[in-house]
Structure 1
């Protein structure tokens, strides 16, 4: 496992699952800042003992670096990446002005809290996690509720994208990457109707076209290919 092999490489390693949105956010940040990293895929829900030794909470991402203690969990990893790797020559993903930071953190919390709790985690549980459980099958009732919740969220995101340049204001921020990470996961699984997404689709097209996004568009889950158009920039 990673804990035994980390000493054999000088490059930082990220323990992740390809469709975990928090891990995707960390990957987007690292790619945006030009930081090379080795990826090691983990299925956190299997709760392997070696993995639990690193993180008893059994969540990803986890950033491992020879020179540093393990950085465990979404917020710790995200803040660690921003503090260590954000460029000094250009603006990073966290605004310098207090009012802009406040709006960024509001939207960031909306995505990682509200959107995740009402939509993403249910979709992943039903479509991904249950595949690894003997006899586990998706619950259509749960997926219907998640879909209804997603529709309401998309209405709000579309209103925001119609009234500002980016999710939290005039500039691209961490909130944009957070939402892109979640929507890309849902898009892979075919849960977004882009024909009804309005300005959110235009926003997603812009951020999807960034070089940092290429690593996500190449993701594949064994036995579950991406939904049609997932990797297309013109979707």
Structure 2
């Protein structure tokens, strides 16, 4: 059984958890706080980043892109359709949006909010910086407008079929929703799409996540939110 070294609110780790759950792959999890840079983590990955997927052969696969490809190449069942389209242009649009989540959305929104609200709780004397929170939330509002625009004309994020892009966005939005940073009243199209994803069995483990001394926002685990 593969093991995922993760943090519950790390969106990249959440993406791998969603993929494995969607494909019916049993997954052990080992929780770690990457910002503490513990020796065990640095031994596995000197960059101190997550996720780290340890395969059945006890080989650590480092980082989100490598982990995505290993899950697709090794753990996708032949009887289950994968999350990567077969048509090259459909696949290109999916990867464009996956990159948007992994790079742009993460660097402009999610990373800052996790650092300010979660990581700083482990740093003595550190408190969230209001200006950083305001900037991240302003950026989030712009991203949500774009997602609403896409989903107003598409059944799924990258087109007519559910793909890895949907799971990548859901991983980030679920983290942000846990922390109470999304105003769903201003995101009707994205909310409807997210409700469909939350209803999938693959989402159950994420909706059961809890961070010590930080309960989720109201409606986080509700399918009708």
CA deviations on 1:184-223 (whole Å, 9 max, x unpaired) are 0000000001111110000000001100000000000000
C-alpha separation between the residues in 2 aligned to 1:208 and 1:30?
A: 15
Q: Which residue of 2 aligns with 1:94?
A: 84
Q: Give the SS at the match of 2:156.
A: coil
Matched, 1:186 2:205: no
> In the alignment, is the contact (CA less than 8 A) between 2:35 and 2:48 conserved in 1?
yes
Unaligned 5+ segments in structure 1 are 1-10
Q: Which residue of 1 aligns with 2:124?
A: 134
The two structures have a TM-score, normalised by structure 1, of 0.94
Q: Which residue of 1 aligns with 2:164?
A: 174
C-alpha separation between the residues in 2 aligned to 1:65 and 1:200?
A: 34
Q: Which residue of 1 aligns with 2:33?
A: 43
1:200 is matched with which residue: 183, 187, 190?
190
C-alpha separation between the residues in 2 aligned to 1:108 and 1:213?
A: 18
Q: In the TM superposition, what are the counterparts of 1:1-235 in structure 2 within 5 Å?
A: 11-235=1-225
Q: Give the SS at the match of 1:40.
A: strand
Q: Give the SS at the match of 1:100.
A: helix
How far did 1:68 drift?
4.5
> In the alignment, is the contact (CA less than 8 A) between 2:94 and 2:158 conserved in 1?
yes
How far did 1:91 drift?
2.0
Change (3 A) 1:89 1:164: same
C-alpha separation between the residues in 1 aligned to 2:58 and 2:219?
A: 39
Two-structure CA RMSD over aligned residues (Å): 0.8
C-alpha separation between the residues in 2 aligned to 1:13 and 1:200?
A: 32
Q: Which residue of 2 aligns with 1:3?
A: none
CA deviations on 1:14-65 (whole Å, 9 max, x unpaired) are 1000000000000000000000011110101111112101000101111113
C-alpha separation between the residues in 1 aligned to 2:54 and 2:96?
A: 28
Structure 1 runs (4+) deviating above 4 angstroms are none
Unaligned 5+ segments in structure 2 are none
CA deviations on 1:115-169 (whole Å, 9 max, x unpaired) are 0010000000100010000001000100000010000000000010111110000
Change (3 A) 1:144 1:182: same
